[in-house]
Amino acid sequence: MQVRTAVEMDMRKVKRLYKKAFPAIERRPFFMLKQKDKLLVLDDGEFSGFFSLASWEDILYVEYYAVSKERRGRKYGSKGLEELKKLYPDRRIFLEIERLDPAAKNAVQRKRRKAFYLRNGFESSGIFVNVKGCDYELLCLNGKITYEEYQKVLEASMGERLYKKANVREIEPE
């Protein structure tokens, strides 16, 4: 398993997986994703997935992480996270997952996703947010972040205009 920086010729594969792995409401315009730090997850040189990352101070925001459908369920996701941890051992790392909701159409998937990240060393930050009408829980690794730090990272990542349009707000935990 290797992780390397994505280059222009990788973007077709990244875009295809991005569109398959994330619902439209959760996606940003692809040109914005192209401007971020991207790492490819490779196995014997074969594309297995990607990370889209944003940094702010000592915080690393995993905006998107996806593993190709053919590689899921075979430890590629965990191996990719291990590589990310090796690359950024001194960074607080966080990501958003859809909030657990037993009534959601993808309730089982949400529960499995959270269990996956918890097994891989992440922990709940206790922070729940609504972004563009979707409820998320923030999971952290290597230390927690505050809601104010989350706001700063997200605004730096999205840009002021898109951040305002996303109507980001903290919501109550269940």
Tell me the per-residue pLDDT of 64-76, one tens digit each, with 9 for 90 and over. Answer: 999 988 887 778 8
Per the CATH hierarchy, to which homologous superfamily does domain 2-171 belong? Gcn5-related N-acetyltransferase (GNAT) (3.40.630.30)
Which two tokens mark 24?
A: 């439209």
Give the Cα separation of 6 and 17 in Å (integer): 14
Tell me the per-residue pLDDT of 89-110, one tens digit each, with 9 for 90 and over. Answer: 999 999 999 999 999 999 999 9
Tell me the per-residue pLDDT of 115-162, one tens digit each, with 9 for 90 and over. Answer: 999 999 999 999 999 998 899 999 999 999 999 999 999 999 888 888
Strands, sheet with 37-43, edge to edge from the N-terminal-most edge strand:
2-5, 37-43, 46-56, 59-67, 92-98, 134-141, 123-131, 169-171
Q: Which residues contact 153 (CB under 8 A, 6 or more apart)?
A: 54, 56, 59, 61, 94, 145
Asked whether the beta carbons of 64 and 18 are under 8 A apart, the reply is: yes
What pTM value is reported for the model?
A: 0.91
